[in-house]
Structure 1
Amino acid sequence: MVKTLAQRLGIFVALAAVMAATRMHHSLLHHFDALPDASWGIFFLAGFWLRGSGRWAFPLLMAEAVLIDYLVISGQGLDFWSHYCVSVAYWFLIPSYFSLWLGGSWLARHQIGLRLQTLGMAVIALAVSWAACYLLSNGSFYWLSDSVPLPRNSAAWFANLGDWYLPFLQTTALYVGIGAVLHVLAVQIARALHADQAKLSR
């Protein structure tokens, strides 16, 4: 589906708003405490809906994520670079999130409309890109962050991977699933409007 610049900007703003609302819930927006962070799902959906706009959309979303983290941490009266979650491993969020973007972009390029085959490709694209993101973010934090006590070993890392595997997967799948439903509805509405216009033009 070809999108105008206005449509792309609208999609970007909507995705950025969802990420802001959910990523900030840790301290600044207490009434969003029930909402898990949508960032991973947002980057996958952005890659799908904004394929071809990665030169501006991905850096802006990445900058937003970092800005939100800074606001949340500094809002707690803490030094950003001294926070538990921030270390040299923090920079690995860039390739981590980009792997999700690539997964969504790959799906957008190869999908064949609202067919069962597209659903299968979506599951594969999400599974592979999510796994890459999870390994990069979790692995970099475990092996590079000073917050992880020494000694480090592979057995402990795999145990850590297992502890967080399902929560991160479920959250990402939830938001991508919501995005998929919205996508199907948008396509169906667009088709209905196009059909009505075709009838009126006869």
Structure 2
Amino acid sequence: MAKTATQRLGIFLALAVVMAATRIHISLLHHALWDASWAIFFLAGFWLRGAGRRAGLNWAFPLLMIEAVVIDYLVINGQGIDFWSHYCVSVAYWFLVPSYLSLWLGGSWLAKHQAGLQLQTLGMAIVAFVVSWTACYLLSNGSFYWLSASVPLPRSSAAWFANLGDWYLPFLQTTALYVAIGAVAHVLATQVSRALQAERAGLPR
């Protein structure tokens, strides 16, 4: 279903608000919401993908990426810590760009190949999500482990694999929950849109 420019802007703003509300540290907003950023990039790739030869990329990805960095900067400085000296900020921090891009491309691929509200689409969605999420996880976790000075020496492949295993399912479950909420919203919006179109055309629902 093609979206108007207004609809795309509305979706973008909604996703940006959710990311801001969940990415900001609990010490600033006094909540314990899990960070939805990874799910936001997957859903944005699905709902806001570009067309043609751009592999689904458009204005939304860089804007969401900038938002993520700005939020991190404000949160870290709000804690009285210099951004560049924070535990999580190193050369590995910039690997968030390809990490989040993998999620965007996963959602974009699904949008291009999905078959509407059918069981086949559900299977494709699960595959696209798990593959793109795993790529994001490997890039972000691996870059931090191998490149960040915050990880004590000596490092080893065995220790990295152990770390991957410790956090894989908790991170996956959190992102999957937000994506599932987005999927339900998508199904409901699609059904409502179809009902309204049928009503305007005078057709049975």
Q: Tell me the TM-score range normalised by the shorter chain.
A: over 0.9
Partner of 1:37: 35
Identity %: 80
Distance 2:19 2:192 in 1: 26
1:41-190 correspondence to structure 2 within 5 Å: 41-52=39-50, 54-190=57-193
Q: Give RMSD over aligned pairs.
A: 1.0
TM-score by length of 1: 0.96
The alignment of Structure 1 onto Structure 2 pairs a total of residues equal to 198
Distance 1:164 1:99 in 2: 19
The secondary structure found in structure 1 opposite 2:59 is helix
Give the structure-2-normalised TM-score.
0.95
How far residue 55 of structure 1 moved from its aligned partner, in angstroms, is 2.4
Moved more, 139-148 or 160-169: 160-169
Match status 1:15 vs 2:9: no
**In structure 1, C-alpha distance between the alignment counterparts of 2:38 and 2:57, rounded to whole Å:** 16
Q: Indicate the SS of the match to 1:27.
A: helix
Deviations 1:45-87 (A, max 9, x none): 0000001173210000000000000010000000001000000
What are structure 1's unaligned runs of at least 5 residues? Answer: none
Residue 28 of structure 1 and its aligned partner are, at CA, apart by 1.6
2:97 counterpart SS class: helix
Secondary structure, counterpart of 1:148 in structure 2: coil
How many Å separate the matches in 2 of 1:61 and 1:55?
Answer: 11
> Shift of residue 165 of structure 1?
0.5
Partners of 1:140 and 1:64 in 2: CA distance: 21
Q: Which has the higher helix share?
A: 1
- Cα drift, residue 27 of structure 1: 2.5
What runs of 5+ residues in structure 2 fail to find an aligned partner?
51-55
**What letter matches 1:161 in structure 2?**
L
SS at match of 2:140: helix
* Distance (Å, rounded) in 2 between the aligned partners of 1:12 and 1:39: 13
CA contact (8 A) 2:110 2:125 kept: yes
- The amino acid of 1:195's aligned partner reads A
> SS where residue 191 of structure 1 aligns?
helix
Separation in structure 1 between the aligned mates of residue 153 and residue 42 of structure 2, nearest angstrom: 34
Question: Which residue identity lines up with residue 51 of structure 1 in the other structure?
Answer: R
Q: Alpha-carbon deviation of 1:25? A: 3.2
Instruction: State the alpha-carbon separation in 2 of the partners of residues 96 and 22 from structure 1.
Output: 18
1:167 Cα deviation from its structure 2 partner: 1.0
Give the partner amino acid of 2:45: G
